[in-house]
């Protein structure tokens, strides 16, 4: 099993390195856990939903790179 962590800022009430997303493949699902301070959220995505999420993230990243607005 491989775990990938993405560290981020989170909300202003937490230190910069106290928020992260953990990504793990379990069976046929991709499980994301979001941790901020002492709060944890989990979501399990099937393959097609994980693909749609990845496409949406790429679209939003491209908008940032192009200086686009949030619509």
Mean pLDDT of 43-57: 95
Query: Is the confidence at residue 49, as pLDDT, over 90?
Result: yes
The closest alpha carbon to 50, from 31, 22, 35, belongs to: 31
Residue 56 lies in a domain: yes
Structural domain for 21, as ranges: 3-65
The pTM score is 0.70
Q: What is the pLDDT of residue 70?
A: 58
The answer to whether residue 18 is domain-embedded is yes
Give the angle subtended at the CA of 4 by the CAs of 37 and 38, to the nearest 5°: 10
| Residue 71 forms part of a structural domain | no
The share of the chain scoring above pLDDT 70, in percent, equals 79
Any domain includes 70: no
How many structural domains are present in the chain?
1
Specify if 61 maps to a domain: yes
Q: What percent of the chain has pLDDT over 90?
A: 49
Residue 31 belongs to some domain of the structure = yes
pLDDT class of 20 with cuts at 50, 70, 90 = confident
Q: Flag whether 17 is in a domain.
A: yes
């Amino acid at each position: 099993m491989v775990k990938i962590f993405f560290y981020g800022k989170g909300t202003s009430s937490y230190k910069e390195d106290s928020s992260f997303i953990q990504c793990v493949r379990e069976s046929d699902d991709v499980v994301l856990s979001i941790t901020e301070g002492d709060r944890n959220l989990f979501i399990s995505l099937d393959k097609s939903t994980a693909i749609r999420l990845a496409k949406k993230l790429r679209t939003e990243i491209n908008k940032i790179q192009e200086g686009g607005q949030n619509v």
